Amino acid sequence: MTEFSLDLNEEQRDLRDWVHGFAAEIVRPAAAEWDAREETPWPVIQEAAKVGLYGFEFIANCWADPTGLSLPLANEELFWGDAGIGMALFGTTLAVAAIYGAGTPEQLVEWVPQCYGDTDRPAVAAFCTTEPEAGSDVAAMRTRARYDEAADEWVLTGQKAYATNGGIAAVHVVTASVEPELGSRGQAAFVVPPGTEGLTATKKLKKLGLRASHTADVFLDDVRVPGRCLLGGRDALRERLDRARSGQRGNSQAAMRTFELSRPTVGAQAIGVARAAYEYALAYAGERVQFGRPIIENQAIAFQLADMRMEIDAARLLVWRAAWMGRNNRPFTAGEGSMSKLKAGEVAVSVTERAVQILGGAGFLREHPVERWYRDAKIYTIFEGTSEIQRLVISRAISGRQIR
């Protein structure tokens, strides 16, 4: 018998409530301070590590959920608490996911624990792929990886832009071009171990939002890493390059699938931000009295809130669908991963903007968190593929054409 249910199971409800508790008690009360300080919230990371919310075991447990919903559930709750602190905690996952996705089991065992550090002294990791001249156009990557056969070392040279945790990370995972003629199919990912010479970074970049999360440009000046730092190993790389040279498809499709798989998680973060703003605006509209009645008793306000709620729920359903499809190896024939991130990102922007409007002048002040949520929401139409790039993926998937 085929069963259908949108009910969460007990484990998922427990996970959601547990992460929500941490977000409400630890993250949200600290949010304004770390936003203003624009610094990495190490004490919060340490607290998260202590309770088991920061570390590979937590992520591995989420990945193990056969419905795929655990990761979006945890992300929505954590980012409901605060997106800047959320990203300070989840930025490491980008690098870990790259090691998990492209690395061998030995590489996973060697590097993932170093990404997180230990409970007393947690570490963070960075995934560095964007470059000054290669943002949306990943194939334009100029960072080069050259193999020094005699030393069994890879030599990395180039510059990376906007890396979350860049320069403060223990482990940097860096993508580089091994065969530039092959475009994105000639690229590979490398682990740069802690303390490696030649890797430097700018100071933390000043941002509109997500200010607790560290973002920096990273420079690679003849950075030498041991041969074993090539994720997946040399044989797998050789096979991949041979396939690409002979014009076979598959490799770039695999890369595309990896992106599509991570998008529902990012969408869930955007929903967390949107939901925070919606809940706050709903409560405010019930209390704020003008013209002798709470402002929510005006249709102009109540209908806004109705739309905000509907849009959040619609986005969440797209996120859950894509997360379920990804976990159960269903092909994304219509760019469903992109759909989920696109919708959630745009909902976060519109819902937080409406929340500011519902609060009126109060919404513009730092005294209320909606101005921060409004600033934070905007990143979700930009990183992990801009809204335009998501539309490209969807339109190509549904049309089978090379839409430009």
The binding site for ligand FAD (CB under 6 A) comprises 94, 127-130, 135-136, 162-164, 207, 210, 215, 379, 382-383, 386, 388-389, 392
CB of 233 to ligand FAD, least distance (A): 23
CB of 270 to ligand FAD, least distance (A): 13
Helices 387-399 and 336-359, axial angle in degrees (round to 10): 140
Q: Which is nearer to ligand FAD, 100 or 127 (CB)?
A: 127
Q: Which is nearer to ligand FAD, 93 or 304 (CB)?
A: 93
Which of 76, 77, 311, 384 is the catalytic position?
384
CB of 378 to ligand FAD, least distance (A): 9
Nearest residue to ligand FAD by CB is 135
384 assigned to active site: yes
Burial profile 157-186: b = 16 or more Cβ within 10 angstroms, e = fewer:
bbbbbbbbbbbbbbbbbbbbbbbeebbbbb
- In this structure, what are the phi and psi dihedrals at residue 21, rounded to the nearest 5 degrees? -60, -45
Find the angle CA(85)-CA(324)-CA(264) to the nearest 5 degrees.
35
CB of 239 to ligand FAD, least distance (A): 25
CB of 201 to ligand FAD, least distance (A): 12
Q: Which is nearer to ligand FAD, 345 or 363 (CB)?
A: 345
Q: Which is nearer to ligand FAD, 210 or 295 (CB)?
A: 210
CB of 122 to ligand FAD, least distance (A): 18
Q: Which is nearer to ligand FAD, 211 or 354 (CB)?
A: 211
CB of 292 to ligand FAD, least distance (A): 45
Q: Which is nearer to ligand FAD, 112 or 163 (CB)?
A: 163
Radius of gyration of the chain (CA): 22
Burial profile 136-155: b = 16 or more Cβ within 10 angstroms, e = fewer:
eebeebebebeeeeeeebbb
**Residue pair 312/275 in contact by the 8 Å Cβ criterion:** yes
Print the SS3 string covering the chain.
Answer: CCCCCCCCCHHHHHHHHHHHHHHHHHHHHHHHHHHHHCCCCHHHHHHHHHHCCCCHHHHHHHHHCCCCCHHHHHHHHHHHHCHHHHHHHHHHHHHHHHHHHHCCHHHHHHHHHHHHECCCCECCEEEECCECCECCCHHHCCCEEEEECCCCEEEEEEEEEEEECCCCCCEEEEEEECCHHHHHHHEEEEEECCCCCCEEECCCCCCCCCCCCCEEEEEEEEEEEEHHHECCCHHHHHHHHHHHHCCCCCHHHHHHHHHHHHHHHHHHHHHHHHHHHHHHHHHHHHHCEECCEEHHHCHHHHHHHHHHHHHHHHHHHHHHHHHHHHHCCCCCCCCHHHHHHHHHHHHHHHHHHHHHHHHHHHHHCCCCCHHHHHHHHHHHHCCCCCHHHHHHHHHHHHHCCCCC
CB of 310 to ligand FAD, least distance (A): 26
Q: Which is nearer to ligand FAD, 136 or 290 (CB)?
A: 136
Q: Which is nearer to ligand FAD, 53 or 210 (CB)?
A: 210
Catalytic residues: 384
